[in-house]
Amino acid sequence: MVDRIVTGAHYGLRGWLVQRISAVIMAVYVFFVAGYIVLNSHFGDHLGRGGLDYYKWVMLFSNPLMRSFTLLFLIALFYHAWIGLRDIVMDYVRSAKVRLLIYVLLTVLLLLYSIWAVQILWGI
């Protein structure tokens, strides 16, 4: 049996918990949007609402609550992705320099995606 001294920043439990919480946030959003699509698409024609078109999407995303919910979804998605990719890099990339480079690239990329999402949602 090999004795191994545990080292590191001990992100395991916190990362695990954050991934579960972010997964719940993403699941709620996906179910909401899927329900909206089903109720407003041609599947919902028997309800007399017509099909899903551009104007219904504009109405949905013009609501500040929906924009905020979408931003919360995207933040949860990016944080979920960061934790998962960080763990993969920690497990499989041995070189500290390469690992640092990958972390910096991932951080910059996810921050740029976040800024882009805010620009899309609020037109800033």
Instruction: Give the burial string for 37-48 (b: 16+ CB within 10 Å, else e).
Output: eeebeeebeeee
- As a whole number of angstroms, the distance between CA 45 and CA 61 comes to 22
**Residue 52 lies inside a defined structural domain of this protein:** yes
92 annotated to bind ligand: yes
Query: Which pLDDT score is estimated for 40?
Result: 81
Total domain count for the chain?
A: 1
Determine if residue 113 is labeled as part of a ligand binding site. no
Residue 66 within a domain:
yes
In terms of residue numbers, what domain contains 24?
Answer: 13-122
Residuewise pLDDT in 10s, the chain (124 residues): 555 555 555 667 888 899 999 999 999 999 999 999 888 877 655 555 567 888 888 999 999 999 999 999 999 999 999 999 999 999 999 999 999 999 999 999 999 999 999 998 888 5
- The enclosing domain of 21 has a CATH number of 1.20.1300.10
Q: How far is CA 108 from the centre of its chain?
A: 16
At 2 the three-state DSSP class reads: coil
Which positions ≥6 away from 80 have C-beta within 8 Å?
A: 18, 19, 22, 23, 26
Task: Output the DSSP codes for 74-96.
Answer: HHHHHHHHHHHHHHHHHHH---H
- Does a structural domain hold residue 75? yes
